[in-house]
Chains A and B, each alone.
Chain A
Amino acid sequence: MNDSDSNPMPSIDDVARVATLSRLALDEAGLEAARRDLSAILGHVAAIQSLDVDDVEPMPRPQDVVNRLAEDEPGPLLDREVLLRMAPRTEGPFIAVPKVLGEGGA
C-alpha cells in the first residue's frame, strides 16, 4: 500500500511546518504521532497517483453550478450586542485581543 519511492512520507520538519500553517501547537511527541498518522493516511491516499488524469478537468464541486449574485441592498444584520456577548474577552464595545504589532521578533 505504501509506495515510499514515488510518495516520500513527511519528515518531522514537514510536519512542524504543517502544524505552524495549521495554527496548532504540538510538542515533540505530538509531532511524531502526527507524522505517523499522516504517513499512514498519505500512504493509502497515494493510490490515486496511479490513475491517468492528464486530460481531466478538476471538479471542485459535484455540480457545475453557476454563481448566483444577490442584489446589493442592505438587509437585516445580527445585533452588535448579541455578537459581542459571544466574544470570550471584551473591553467596552470592543473584542479584546493580545497585541498584534511587534509579534514574531520584528
Chain B
Amino acid sequence: MKHVNDESRQSADLNTADDLVARIRSVRDGETTTADRLEGMLSRIAAVNPALNAFHEVLDEDARRHAESIDTRLAAGDDPGPLAGAIVAVKDNLCTTEGRTTCSSKILEHYRSPFEATAVARLREAGATIIGKTNLDEFAMGSSSENCAWGPVRNPHGVDRVPGGSSGGSAAAVAADCADVALGSDTGGSIRQPAAFCGCVGLKPTYGRISRYGLVAFGSSLDQIGPIGRSVRDASLLYEVMAGVDPYDATTSELQVESPLTDGPLDLQGLRVGVPREHVTDENHAGVTERLAETLDTLRSAGVTIVDVDLPLTHHGISTYYVIAPAEASSNLSRYDGIRYGHRAEARPGEGLESLYARTRSEGFGPEVRRRIMLGTYVLSAGYYDAYYTRALKVRRLIKQEFDGVFSQCDVLLGPTTPAPAFRVGADLDPVSMYLNDVYTVNANIAGIPAISIPGGTVEDDGDTLPVGIHLQAPAFAEPLLLRTASAIEALQSNG
C-alpha cells in the first residue's frame, strides 16, 4: 500500500520529541524561524496534497505575511504569544476572514466570511500562523471524509484508506506533517475518530468550554471545536488558548479555565480507570482488542486500578444521536436558501420563491446532507415530534445520568475510540453501518463531557498496518484530569 510518509518524516509515532511544543521552542531558541518552517510545510503540501486532498485552500500569501511578522517581533525581543512559530490548519467549517469557508458544500463554494470564528481569532492572537483550510465531510456530516463536494480525503497511512471524518482533512494534514496542529469540530466523534484513524491526538472539550461562534452550525447542542495534534501537550496548549467565555456564544461557560498540564502528567498510582463492558466486545476488530488489552496491562503495572463498569445505554447513543443531530441540522441548515449568500439556482421565468429555494438547496447540498435534513424534518414534524425528538431528549438525560453514575465508580473512562481501523475509500457502507463508526464516541457529545483519542498502537488489517486510538472520557469540565491522565498514558507508551 502506498504511504505518503515513506520518506523522511514518519508520522506513525507522533510524540513529544517533535511535537508543536518542541517546535515552538526551536523557533524561540533561534534554531529555526516561523518563515522557514512555513516554507517547509508549504512544500510538503505541494508534494502530498494532490494524493491526500486534505486541503481545500492553502493560504500561502497570508501565512507568509503572518510568519514574517512573528519572526520580526521575536527578533525584536517581543513576545507574540504562546503559539508564536506554530503552523495551524483549520477545518473548512470554521469561519476565517482570509480565504473561503466552504464546509465542503457547493452551496458555499464561493462563500467568504465577513467575520472570524472566536477559536481561530484566539489562535491568531496567540501568534499562530494559519496555513490553510482543510477538507471535511459536507457540513461535518460523515465519518469518512468522502461526503465532500470536491473529492474524498485520503489517509496518509495508506491512500486507499479513509482518514475518518468529518475532520479528516485536519487529521490527515497533521499526520502528513502539513501542519503542526489543526482545528476540527466534533458533533459525534468527528475529531476523535479521524485522530484515531490517522495516529494523532484529538480532543473534544466539554460542551460550552470553547466558543462555537464562527463554527458553521450542524448540531448546536452537540458541536464542539477542538484540536488535533501530535501529542497530548499540543492538544492541551491549543485548548487552553481557545477555551473560555465568549460574549458571542451564550452557551460558553463562565467557569475559569485551568492550565491543564501545569502540574505535569498525573501520577497514575491509585487512579481508577473504568472500562465499559459494552466497549470491549467481539464485534471489535481483533487488533483493537489486543491493543486495548496491552494498554490495560501497562496501566495495571503503573498502579492503576482498572474497574469494569456498565454503560448499557451505549448502543442507544447512536439512535439518540440520529434523532437529535439531524433535527438540529434541519433547522440550522434552513438558512441556506440562496437569497442572501451562497449558491442560488438559475431562476426560471415566472418561478416563485418556494420553487427557487427548493431547487437551490437540491443543487447545493450533497446526498448525505439532504438525507439528514429529511430525517431531521421528519422527526420534528407533527405526529412524530414526541415519538422521536422528545423521546430522544429524554434518553439523552438517561445517558447523562448513566455517565454521572459511572463517574462515581471511577475517575475516567477508557476504551477503544473506534471498533476497527480505517476502512477503504469507496467501501460504500450503508448509512446505518457508517453511523455505527461513532458508537463509542457519540455519547460524550450527547452528555456534553470531554473526551480525547490518543494513539493506541497499530493493527494489521488486510495486509495494511494502521493506527488505532485509545479513547478517554471524563466528567464535564474535568479537562485537567482528562489531559493529565492522557499525558501519563502517552509517557508510559513512549517508555514502553
Contact = CB atoms under 8 A, between A and B. Distances in A.
A37 B383 CA distance: 20
A29 interface: no
B381 interface: yes
A47 B316 contact: yes
A-side interface mostly:
loop
Contacts, number: 172
Interface in B332-379: 334, 337-344, 347, 351-359, 361-362, 365, 370-371, 373-375, 377-378
Interface hub of B374, B395, B430 (most chain A Cβ within 10 A): B374
B395 A53 contact: yes
A105 B111 CA distance: 34
A6 to B, nearest CB: 10
B-side interface mostly:
helix
B398 interface: yes
Interface in B420-478: 430-432, 435, 445-449, 476
Contacts of B338: 88
A87 B337 CA distance: 11
B393 interface: yes
Interface residues of B, number: 72
B247 interface: yes
A28 interface: no
A83 B111 CA distance: 11
Given A24-B361, A62-B448, A103-B353, A40 B431 contact: yes
Given A24-B358, A98-B353, A51 B316 contact: yes
B432 A19 contact: no
B320 A25 contact: no
B257 to A, nearest CB: 16
B339 A97 contact: yes
B315 interface: yes
Contacts of A45: 319, 322-323, 388
A87 B114 CA distance: 12
B398 A86 contact: no
Interface in B136-157: none
B216 to A, nearest CB: 14
Contacts of A53: 391, 394-395, 398
Contact of B358 (A23, A59, A99, A104): A23
B96 to A, nearest CB: 15
A103 B357 CA distance: 13
Given A38-B378, A44-B318, A62-B221, A78 B114 contact: yes
Contact of B371 (A14, A34, A46): A34
Interface hub of A57, A61, A87 (most chain B Cβ within 10 A): A61
Contact of B432 (A22, A40, A62, A88): A40
A62 B319 contact: no
B377 A22 contact: yes
Interface in A13-47: 14-15, 17-19, 21-26, 34, 37-38, 40-42, 44-47
A57 B394 contact: yes
A58 to B, nearest CB: 4
Given A47-B319, A49-B387, A97-B353, A56 B398 contact: yes
Contact of A38 (B343, B374, B393, B448): B374
B114 A82 contact: yes
B378 A18 contact: yes
A7 to B, nearest CB: 8
Contacts of A58: 390, 393-394, 396-397
B272 interface: no
A40 B323 CA distance: 13
B15 interface: no
Interface hub of A68, A102, A104 (most chain B Cβ within 10 A): A68
Interface hub of A59, A62, A100 (most chain B Cβ within 10 A): A62
A26 B362 contact: yes
A56 B298 CA distance: 41
Interface of A: 10, 14-15, 17-19, 21-26, 34, 37-38, 40-42, 44-49, 51, 53, 56-63, 65, 67-68, 70, 78-79, 82-83, 86-89, 95, 97-100, 102-104
22 contacts: A17-B381, A23-B361, A24-B365, A25-B359, A40-B430, A41-B371, A44-B319, A45-B322, A48-B391, A48-B392, A51-B395, A56-B395, A60-B393, A62-B446, A62-B476, A63-B448, A70-B247, A83-B340, A95-B339, A97-B356, A98-B351, A103-B352
Q: Which 3 A-B pairs have the closest CB atoms?
A: A62-B448, A58-B393, A103-B352
